[in-house]
A and B are shown apart, each in its own frame.
Chain A
Amino acid sequence: MKLNKKNILLISIFALMLLNAVLFFNLRSLDKRERRLKTKLSGMTKVYKEYKEASSQYGILKKRAFIKETPSASALEGLLEGLQLRGKLTRIKPIQKKTVDGYSMEDLEVEVSGLTLEELVRLLYRLENGREGFIVRSMRLKRAFSEEERLDSSIEVLLLRAGSGS
């Protein structure tokens, strides 16, 4: 084929058509990728907010572990002693102990029986707000079998502290 002006023009047109076709398919694939990425971005924004909220919540919870005294089962006994409820303590039962994210966690079940409503309120208040840093995980409350005005309680508490554990 002779390389005259007409043929050069035809070859250029063919090359342009080819390039346009390549770019067209490239654009289509980029469009698809954009749609996918936008979906991901909206998912990421949502997860980002959720993580921030969870992180803030976690930060608040972790503060409870920053206590000067080392929490332990004996601290729980001491707390009851301070409330003059040592005599009503039926048992302290360790449930599980584990370390998560550098924090030592010890679950204990405390059974206290024959409490008056006032004693129960004082006990819960100290558990929630005392400087020992207990976290109440669950509670079972029943009217005492012998005396209906009194209450038997079973409380699961978590002892959380920074470090390798007690």
Chain B
Amino acid sequence: MMKIGLVQIYGNDITLSVLEGRKRDLRLVEQRKFNGIEAMDDGLSFDAAVLSLPLDILQFRRLRLPFSDVNKLKEVVPYELKRLVLDDIDDIVFDCVVRDADKGDKDLLITFVKRGWLEDTLRALNAKGIDPSIVISLELSKVINGGGFEDVFSGNAGVDLHELGELLAGEMDNPTINLRQGDLSFTKEYREKVRYKKRALVLLFFLLAVLLFNSGERVYIKRKVLKNIDSRMNGMYTELFPGSKRVIEPLYQTRARLKALKGVIKDIEGIDPLNLISVLSERWSPGVVLAELNIDTDFFVLKGSSSQLKDIERLVSRLGEIFPDIEISETDRTVDGKLRYVIKGTTGPAGKAFGSQGEKDEAE
């Protein structure tokens, strides 16, 4: 639904008609008359505005030119018009209606109005919030569509209210003449487009600025986090090695030092034979004879014999409660029918419960 404001000028009388409807079906909803443009209400607003001039304001000239190409005609018209008007060609605004004549010629009706008058009128309407997109003449349209160019010179043709909507719709779709041309062109849409583009650019600018601020803040925070992680690692390193001044890669430096320390510990770490012997005696299985016991830093080996395999297995099972990593590694029969065995166990991490000499000292 469009709301169109039609301004018609008859001398000093201004008629403002408000029409509503679809593009091809406009209905008159209101008509008001004013005594001069200055008397019009301020702040009028329409979806589109049209200025219609009466025949008595317009001036006409007829031409017959031997061209059929309309573009070529338009190029020639200003020069032809110079001969036909008293005013300077730059002081008028014109448009023409072209019709076919005989012998392939074109019959032209040139319509013009004084530029200064039109400029003043448009400026005055603009001041009231009306910016006509086209400057037409409904009367001219009615006359030309009703007959020939000759009727234009015969006098004023009034436009009835009932035909206003139909005439205006037709003129808005395809105007007979439009004097809003050249430097008087309707630029409101263009200006609005420019304004929207400018607003979009300003908006983009602020958006990018906000984004930049956000990214900058994130970079700042991230750098702080990284610095914090660095200082935490350095702090751990200097806590472990207070005398150290060159801290480049705390993780790798600490790893190297840990490796060296573990090497030293391994060098001076002892075993706890009494404790192991005590555990063995507590969990020994009857029927199993121990011939040899080897105890090393991480493991122990039991060698001996038994008459039955199940006795050896029972022993391994009972020792397995303390040393989970224990197994029978060898068994073989001797000439006297006994079963020789070799049992290997680990006192490493699993042997923690069993305890090393160092841990015992710590407990004490």
- State the A residues within 8 Å of B (CB): 6, 9-10, 12-13, 16-17, 19-20, 23-24, 26-27, 30-31, 33-34, 37-38, 40-41, 43-45, 47-48, 50-52, 54-58, 60-64, 98, 100-101, 103, 105, 121, 124-125, 128, 135-143, 158, 160
Q: What is the minimal beta-carbon distance from A42 to any residue of chain B, in angstroms?
A: 10
Could you tell me if A30 and B258 are in contact, using CB atoms closer than 8 angstroms? no
Could you tell me if B265 and A137 are in contact, using CB atoms closer than 8 angstroms? no
Could you tell me if B271 and A136 are in contact, using CB atoms closer than 8 angstroms? yes
Q: A13-B205, A121-B277, A143-B291 are in contact. Are A27 and B226 (CB under 8 A)?
A: no
Q: What is the minimal beta-carbon distance from A80 to any residue of chain B, in angstroms?
A: 16
Residues of A within 8 Å of B223, CB to CB, are 30
Could you tell me if B233 and A141 are in contact, using CB atoms closer than 8 angstroms? no
Could you tell me if A100 and B219 are in contact, using CB atoms closer than 8 angstroms? no
Interface size class of B (residues with CB under 8 A): 35 or more
Q: What is the minimal beta-carbon distance from B304 to any residue of chain A, in angstroms?
A: 9
Kindly state the separation between the CA atoms of A142 and B292 in the bound complex, as whole angstroms. Answer: 4
The residues in B between 165 and 195 inclusive whose CB is less than 8 angstroms from any CB of A are none
Kindly state the separation between the CA atoms of A127 and B269 in the bound complex, as whole angstroms. Answer: 14
Q: Is the interface of A mostly helix, strand, loop or mixed?
A: helix
Cβ-neighbour of B254 out of A19, A34, A51 (below 8 A): A51
Residue B261, interface by CB 8 Å? yes
Could you tell me if A23 and B215 are in contact, using CB atoms closer than 8 angstroms? yes
- State the B residues within 8 Å of A (CB): 198, 201-202, 204-205, 208-209, 211-212, 215-216, 218-219, 222-223, 225-226, 229-230, 232-233, 236-237, 240, 250-251, 254-255, 257-258, 261-262, 264-265, 267-274, 277, 291-297, 357-359, 361-362
Could you tell me if A137 and B271 are in contact, using CB atoms closer than 8 angstroms? yes
A–B Cβ pairs within 8 angstroms, 16 of them: A12-B205, A13-B201, A27-B222, A30-B223, A30-B226, A40-B233, A47-B254, A48-B240, A50-B258, A61-B268, A63-B361, A64-B361, A121-B274, A128-B272, A135-B270, A143-B292
Residues of B within 8 Å of A47, CB to CB, are 251, 254-255, 258
Q: A17-B208, A37-B229, A141-B292 are in contact. Are A48 and B358 (CB under 8 A)?
A: no
Q: Which residue of A lies closest to B293 (CB)?
A: A141
Kindly state the separation between the CA atoms of A78 and B288 in the bound complex, as whole angstroms. Answer: 37
Q: What is the minimal beta-carbon distance from A91 to any residue of chain B, in angstroms?
A: 19
Residues of B within 8 Å of A158, CB to CB, are 268, 270
Q: What is the minimal beta-carbon distance from B170 to any residue of chain A, in angstroms?
A: 40
Kindly state the separation between the CA atoms of A49 and B21 in the bound complex, as whole angstroms. Answer: 83
Given contacts A48-B240, A51-B240, A124-B274, 4 further A-B contacts (CB under 8 A): A27-B215, A61-B265, A64-B268, A136-B357
Cβ-neighbour of B362 out of A60, A142, A143 (below 8 A): A60
Could you tell me if B225 and A34 are in contact, using CB atoms closer than 8 angstroms? yes
Q: A23-B215, A27-B219 are in contact. Are A44 and B358 (CB under 8 A)?
A: no
Residues of B within 8 Å of A55, CB to CB, are 240, 261
Q: What is the minimal beta-carbon distance from A157 to any residue of chain B, in angstroms?
A: 8
Kindly state the separation between the CA atoms of A160 and B219 in the bound complex, as whole angstroms. Answer: 55
The 3 closest A-B pairs by CB, nearest first: A135-B270, A16-B208, A23-B215
Q: What is the minimal beta-carbon distance from B239 to any residue of chain A, in angstroms?
A: 8
Residues of A within 8 Å of B236, CB to CB, are 44-45, 48
Q: A30-B222, A51-B257, A137-B297 are in contact. Are A37 and B268 (CB under 8 A)?
A: no
Kindly state the separation between the CA atoms of A98 and B266 in the bound complex, as whole angstroms. Answer: 14
Q: Which residue of B lies closest to A38 (CB)?
A: B229
Could you tell me if B274 and A30 are in contact, using CB atoms closer than 8 angstroms? no
Could you tell me if A61 and B208 are in contact, using CB atoms closer than 8 angstroms? no
Q: A12-B205, A136-B271 are in contact. Are A54 and B357 (CB under 8 A)?
A: no
Cβ-neighbour of B219 out of A23, A62, A121, A142 (below 8 A): A23
Residues of B within 8 Å of A58, CB to CB, are 261, 264-265
Cβ-neighbour of B261 out of A40, A41, A51, A103 (below 8 A): A51
Residues of A within 8 Å of B265, CB to CB, are 54, 57-58, 61
